[in-house]
Amino acid sequence: MPRQLFRRIVSYKPKYFAKIMTVPELRHLRRKALLARKSVGFVPTMGALHQGHLALIRQAAKENDQVYVSIYVNPTQFGVNEDLSSYPRTWPEDRVKLQALTAEFSTNNQLGQIAAVFMPSTKEMYPSAPPTSEIDGQGSFVTITPLSARLEGASRPVFFRGVATVCMKLLNIVQPERVYFGQKDIQQTFVVKRMVKDFHLDTEVRVGSTVREADGLAMSSRNVYLGERRRAVALVLLNSFKEVQQVFARGARKRRYLYNAAMDKLLLVQKQQEALPKGKRALFEVDYISIADPDTLDELEEVTAERGAILSGAIKMLPIEDSQEGEETGLGGGKSTVRLIDNIRLDLLSAKVGYIP
């Protein structure tokens, strides 16, 4: 066989991925990869893919022979009155994005390939009984305490129970060498790392940097709900972090000074919006601001320049009160509350240059 033709054959990578709906199918494919000594990187998602998800898939392709992506809107991480039914489900658009990545990877022999997209039904993921979102609901759940009860967990008491449970299921099904999460969901990465450690799961948790829009807003599948008016005001959370960076760079280390810098900015913009007419304002509520240890996520009373901290927060963009004719109000017409989270690593170097990772 001519050497040139041989090279083309051995470097060929499929331009299509397998769409898998059942656990046995996925395990069969995984076993084939194992026997072929192919490493697998796993990117769990709920779909509505954006550049943040795609960055994680690219990272997985750099570090593994094969990439598995899951798309599953997990009901157990939504509270009873949360947005499960309206959560965006965009498989046609997601498929196009994944196909484009597959074509991109096929031209580079240094990258792995997207081998499978796992799209199970809820019956497949919860085979014994329908899942529940009640706080005291019955079922087979994984809980990671006390970490799951803080911050996001305080506002959404079943959220991390659902996240830990579905991640345990997915990691048990896929058994990847590496699993990938984004830094935007920083508390989720802590919960999953703790679960992997405490339950001796044989996988490495990898965390990719937060991907942001051009103006700095952290990318999220929920951003499609915002619309123009709320989208502009939503930057207030990131801007409050910038205020903290400034006082930290000037020497403030005590929690009260750092916390107050964030809250002063948030309350100022909140009052400005409240003073506007209903047809122009975008109201929001502050859920929390956290200044936490970068290793444990415990709240800090003082931040050292050497170790820094995780600065995180959440706000709720309230429904638009009086939408104007022709106004772009986002998916759902601006009628739902949109909860936004963000975080940055607070350290001396990034604070001095105003860097937002």
What is the C-alpha to C-alpha distance for residues 44 and 56, in angstroms, rounded to an integer?
Answer: 10
Burial code (b: 16+ CB inside 10 Å, e: under 16) for 24-50 equals eebeebbeebeeeebbbbbbbbbbbbb
Compute the Cα dihedral for 189, 218, 272, 324 and give only its sign: negative
Residue tagged active-site, from 28, 50, 53, 200: 53
Reported in sequence order, the residue ranges of the chain that DSSP labels E, i.e. its strands, are 18-20, 40-45, 66-71, 113-118, 178-182, 204-208, 284-292, 309-317, 338-346
What CA–CA distance (Å, rounded) separates 314 from 340?
6
Q: Which two tokens stand for residue 231?
A: 């989208």
Helix 255-274 vs helix 236-249: crossing angle, to nearest 10: 150
Three-state secondary-structure class, residue 336: coil
- DSSP SS3 for 52: helix
Q: Are 314 and 152 in contact (CB under 8 A)?
A: yes
Tokens of 64: 């593994």
**Among 3, 160, 199, CA closest to 77:** 160
Separation between Cα atoms, residue 135 and residue 79, nearest integer Å:
8
**Does the active-site annotation cover 28?**
no
Q: Which residues are catalytic?
A: 53
